[in-house]
Amino acid sequence: MFSYVFTVQKFLIAFSIAQILCPIADAVIIKGTTSYRDDAFADAASSTGSPLIYGGALSISDALSGSDLTTGVEFVGAETVQIDFIDNTIKNIAGNDLVIFEYGANPETISLTVGSMESMSIVYASVFSFQEGGTNINEIRVDLNDFGIAMGNSVSSIFIKVGDSAHKPEISGAASLEPIPEPGQYALIFGLAILGYLLLRRKA
């Protein structure tokens, strides 16, 4: 009986500590009407050509990584822009899995490939979604099922080209649409971890 009570008390203590720590792990970034995990946004980018960089960014990677959608690149020709996800890959879940942000007054089209440059490409048209920094942010929402990616599988890179030679899109970023875990999930995980540590210390 003593051991049971001891364990329950320790778990309640651990769970309380975990709830305090949860807000740190549960950071959320809101764009328009959508909430994103703080690690949902692209981490790096590169290009085979020389797109124009805008918004004061120092490089293509600086322009397209992170959650600042006032920086980006404008296509000027047939270049291919590669956007990479390192901290959090794009996972195929139910519904849309990826959003690409396109900056400017007029929605444009892009040709998108996921996973590798040799994979199939699909042309998408962006749709106005919200404003940031006083400028329209258009969105392209992508379901990885369209590219033959199995449910539960992930990709870490996407490749963007001009979708229509008459239009030059301005890409300002990309993000995974993987759902944000409920705070209680973090609390339970942290609580069990702390409880395990406390029990190991007691046995020692």
Dist. CA 175–CA 165, nearest whole Å: 25
Q: Domains of the chain (ranges plus CATH)?
A: 28-176 (2.60.120)
- Per-residue HEC secondary structure of 80-145 comes to CEEEECCCCCEECCCCCCEEEEEECCCCCEEEEEECCCCCCEEEEECEEEEEECCEEEEEEEECHH
Give the pLDDT confidence of 99-158 residue by residue, as tens digits. Answer: 999 998 889 999 999 998 888 899 999 999 999 989 899 999 999 999 999 999 999 999
Q: What percent of the chain has pLDDT over 70?
A: 76
Separation of alpha carbons 29 and 169, rounded Å? 24
Single-letter residue type at 7: T
Q: What is the mean pLDDT of the chain?
A: 84
Res. 183 pLDDT band, cuts 50 70 90: low
pTM for the full predicted model: 0.78
What's the pLDDT score for residue 199? 60
